[in-house]
Amino acid sequence: MAESPINFGTVVVVTADKDFAVLVADALRASGANVGDLKVRAPDKLSDELADPACGLVVPDLDAFPDGPVAGLSELYRQAGPSVRFLPVTGVFDAEVARGFLRLKLQDFLVKPVVPADLAHTLTRLGRDDADPYPDSRIYTFLPAAGGVGNTTLTLQSAVLLHQAAARRHQTTCVVDLNLQNGSCAEYFDLEPHFDIAEIENQPDRLDRKLLDVMLSRHKSGLAIVSAPPCPWEMRSYRPDLVARLLDLVAGHFDNVVIDLPRTWFPWTDSVLQGSDHVFVTTEMTVPALRQAQRLAQAVRERVHKDARFGVIVNRADAGASVSLAEVKQLFGDAFAGAVANDYKAVREALDQGRPLGEVAPNSRVIADLRAIIADPSELATSSWTAPLRALLARLRRTDAPAAAKGRRHA
């Protein structure tokens, strides 16, 4: 499949150095990226450019900030919208700056002197979305192929299993119910949904950690759930920047994020899929549902990140069904993630009691099957913060290398 074009939208270069602005403009042309508008602003001349929804990339010259690179970048982060990417360039890089960049969860930067080809290459990589914007979050997304396949049940039970494993490592898990019209994640666990969309719909930037905490529903186990009160009488497509802001905030504060996607494809669905580490299409063992899953799987696979894990989960698997499990495996090939047993009685009892399945039927095959599907030993064995820390330390070591090594991209 041909690579999609790079679209940065509006690019803001923050610098007082004209040569730096020319360098970035030349690198953008060399990268082949589509730029809607290129704006050059000195730090003290910025107004609302970074908060503009059209802004997709900020390239700041951190030497232009009198308070230092970390303070300068922190201020830019504060001004920027949730979907903005940053590629800062700094002439100062030491242990203190490294710690600051780590706190900011920065993924890419360059150290002066900058080689134009390296800047162009980094912009291309950034545009291809090869960099994970949330290095210490693992995002699991469940998408139903048809109505009634049990997507919410699978989402919540998977979240419970992830939460139990994460809690042993002092990590956190949050479920995000993106069925903003008819969602029921909170109600499945007998909780009140608190996510008040009306309060932030027209001003997504109002959603901060403090407001999010108020809008979370929390299970007694500590599992957090973002779920809006259902409003089936209102058919609305919520703004992509609202969804982006919500996921940006949740992913920045929880180690595991589990997303229950609606069956309807919204303008923001592609972005959610592209930003997920694990994507599961859910279906059941009926011919219409399997056909729907086959079509949907092809579309989803084209959209997920090349390093993401993708698979189809077949729910309510029954040995006595007219379609055999062997036929299902043959249908999906390497996209088959696994099958979940049909334990309708136990699942219904858990739903009626508003409790996780493990509390009602701890020996249910559903739990064992889901645990086998979502298990990822390589991720569970490593603390999530070590990857960005190792990357930053590697960058720091390279800046101490001989002068001949200067100018190379630090990756």
- pLDDT tens-digit map of 129-143: 544 444 457 999 999
**Residue 117 banded pLDDT, cuts 50, 70, 90:** confident
Q: Which of 158-167, 202-211, 260-269 has the lowest mean pLDDT?
A: 202-211
Q: Write the single-letter amino acid at 341.
A: A
Residue 194 scores a pLDDT above 80: yes
What pLDDT score does 391 carry? 52
Q: Which domains does the chain have, with CATH numbers?
A: 7-132+385-405 (3.40.50.2300), 138-380 (3.40.50.300)
Mean pLDDT, range 296-305, rounded to an integer: 92
Q: What is the DSSP letter of 260?
A: E
* Beta carbons within 8 Å of 111's beta carbon, 6+ residues apart: 89, 90, 91, 93, 395, 399, 406, 410
What is the per-residue DSSP string for 328-367?
A: HHHHHGGGEEEEEE--HHHHHHHHHHTS-HHHH-TT-HHH
pTM score > 0.95 for this model? no
Q: What is the mean pLDDT of residues 306-329?
A: 92
Give the pLDDT confidence score for residue 394 in this predicted structure: 52
Long-range CB pairs of 215-221, under 8 A, 24+ apart, other chains included: 216/174, 217/186, 217/189, 217/191, 217/192, 217/193, 218/191, 219/189, 219/191, 219/356, 221/160, 221/163, 221/164, 221/167, 221/356
Q: What is the pLDDT of residue 325?
A: 93
Q: How many whole angstroms separate alpha carbon 255 and alpha carbon 225?
A: 14
CB 283 within 8 A of CB 314: yes
The confidence score (pLDDT) of residue 375 equals 81
Question: What is the spatial distance between Cα 307 and Cα 288, in angstroms, rounded to a whole number?
Answer: 30
pLDDT of residue 317: 94
Strands 173-177 and 309-317: unpaired
pLDDT tens figures, 234-261 = 766 677 888 888 998 898 788 899 999 9
Torsion, Cα 80 86 89 93, to 10 degrees, reads: 90
Of 5-19, 118-132, 183-197, 392-406, which range is least confident?
A: 392-406
**For the chain, what percentages of helix, strand and coil (3-state, to nearest 5) are there?**
45, 20, 40
Q: Are 320 and 344 in contact (CB under 8 A)?
A: no
Predicted local distance difference test score (pLDDT) of residue 396: 52
Query: pLDDT tens digits for 343-390?
Result: 999 999 999 999 999 999 999 999 999 999 998 644 444 444 444 544
Strands 224-226 and 217-218: what pairing? antiparallel
- Please report the pLDDT score of residue 392 as a whole number: 54
Residue 78: Cβ within 10 Å count: 9
pLDDT value for 78:
85
Residues 80, 87: Cα–Cα separation, whole Å = 13
Across 323-343, average pLDDT: 95
β-pair partners for 139: 257
pLDDT at position 387: 47
| Structure confidence at residue 87 as a pLDDT band (50, 70, 90) | very high
Taking 50 as the threshold, does the pLDDT of residue 125 lie above it?
yes
SS3 assignment, position 101: helix
Number of H helices, E strands in the chain: 17, 14
**55-78: pLDDT as tens digits:** 989 999 999 999 999 999 999 988
